[in-house]
Amino acid sequence: MPDKPSVIREFLLWWFGPPYSPWVSTSVAIDFTDSRDYLARLAQQDAPKVSVQHLLTAAIGRALADFPDANSRVIGGTIVPSSQVAVAMPVNLIGHKGGKDRELSAAIVEHADTRSLRDIAGHTRKTISEEREGRVTNPIGRWLMRGIKHMPRPVVRRSLDLMDRAAQRVPVAEQLFSQMPITTGLTNPGATLANQEGILFRGAAISLPGRLMHLGTVWAVSAVQDEVVVFNGAPAVRPMLPVVLIFDHRLIDGVRASQLILRLREILGDPEGVFGARGQG
């Protein structure tokens, strides 16, 4: 059984209970100079190629491992710890074979807190390729897509409602999690703004409905963009990565969220020290 929450967490579980939204968002920009140089060095080595998305997935996995409260799940008003960090990333299917019946899918990286950077890159590339070819890689995802496609809409809605109510019970939620393990999300709403003159990405917000499964955090990023920032006491143009952390206030407060962002900044400031010279760490 999950440990009894603190008095404050117990109050917040009630205060932010449905239909009230517990989601809070904070927006920062992180100097990406060291990470960009690291990715350039990795690109000169063996495949699989490591992208910004792969590095962020691994960095978020390591950061959340240091703040397990933020990686917990709320199930039926109970805080349940997660045994791993599992990152879900949306996959655009428009313009691909898999987009015939779907516009969007997801790539899930299990154990993002312990897998090597190269392993995450290879797994993610393989999953995205399969999804875009029309193969739904997750068994629960396949079941949902088939049901939504072939069953009448009223039946689909009733089935999803029943599934959601069942998922509010910890044993059922754990069974669902074993088949679709997701504890956090990583999305890039500002990616299409890359290198657009006169535009800087500044933030995003989302209020998740909490149906079927719960995520403790969602991370939203844009493309790296040059900005004027203070560096060594003087203005300088630096490659900055816009990052939005959206967190469930029932799990953590603003202080812990800030510490989590600072931990992410530490990792991105020394990626070689965390993941090794060849990305095998």
Which pLDDT does position 42 carry in this prediction? 96
Quickly state the pLDDT bin for 1 (edges 50, 70, 90). Answer: low
- Residue 89's DSSP bridge partners are 107
Quickly state the pLDDT bin for 158 (edges 50, 70, 90). Answer: very high
Rounded to a whole number of angstroms, the distance between the first and last alpha carbons of the chain is 33
Is residue 261 a contact partner of residue 245, using CB atoms and an 8 Å limit? yes
Rounded mean pLDDT of the chain?
92
Quickly state the pLDDT bin for 162 (edges 50, 70, 90). Answer: very high
Percent of the chain with pLDDT over 70: 98
pTM: 0.93
Q: How far is CA 163 from CA 20, 85, 211, 213, in A?
A: 21, 24, 9, 10
Summarize the confidence of residues 228-246 as an average pLDDT: 94
Summarize the confidence of residues 53-59 as an average pLDDT: 97
Task: Give the residue from 212, 148, 217, 210 showing the smallest Cα distance to 177.
Answer: 212
Summarize the confidence of residues 254-264 as an average pLDDT: 97
Give yes or no for residue 2 having a pLDDT over 70: no
Is residue 274 a contact partner of residue 267, using CB atoms and an 8 Å limit? yes
Which pLDDT does position 99 carry in this prediction? 84
Task: Give the residue from 183, 184, 182, 190 showing the smallest Cα distance to 243.
Answer: 190
Express each pLDDT in 85-120 by its tens digit: 999 999 999 999 988 878 889 999 999 999 999 999
Which pLDDT does position 51 carry in this prediction? 95
- Residue 150's DSSP bridge partners are none
Structural domains in the chain, CATH included, are 7-88+106-117+181-275 (3.30.559.10)
- Axis-axis angle for helices 52-66, 117-132 (nearest 10): 120
